[in-house]
Amino acid sequence: MQSTGLTPHKRLAFFEFNAQRHGTGQGQISVKGDPIPAGSVITGGFAAVKTGFAPTEAATLAAKVQDTDILPATAATELAAGALINLVFDGSAETMIGLTSPLLTLEFNITGADLTAGHILIILEYVVTG
């Protein structure tokens, strides 16, 4: 069988948001993580909450890749320590994200109230196709 030159396995990239380190105020915050090369396709992922988010009354947290929300605005009440959160990926091509440029950062957005605590790890699964 002739080799296609493609990597025969999926890879993982980690992006970690820590309110104490990256900021607690409302607005958009760029967080560096493991780079994903251009030409890759993000096929899945999830979020693991390490430290619960506060305050829980009105604050929400969202994350996006390029212009696609991967973690829609999620109430801080759902971001308790130990929680595993589904991202938007469902295994269909419609929810996969093809990268035309390298992904170096995730964009997090805090709305509703400033955060005082919280730590979340976003894990993205991808394949290199280009």
Tokens representing 27? 């607005």
Identify the H or E element spanning 125.
Answer: strand 117-128
| CATH numbers and ranges of domains, the chain | 11-128 (2.60.120)
92-123 tens-digit pLDDT: 999 999 999 999 999 999 999 998 899 999 99
Question: What pLDDT does residue 5 have?
Answer: 61
Q: Which residues contact 63 (CB under 8 A, 6 or more apart)?
A: 15, 17, 47, 69, 70, 71, 106, 107, 108, 109, 122
Give percent of the chain above pLDDT 90: 78
Residue type, 67: D
pTM over 0.85: yes
CA neighbor of 21 nearest in space, from 127, 119, 94, 126 = 119
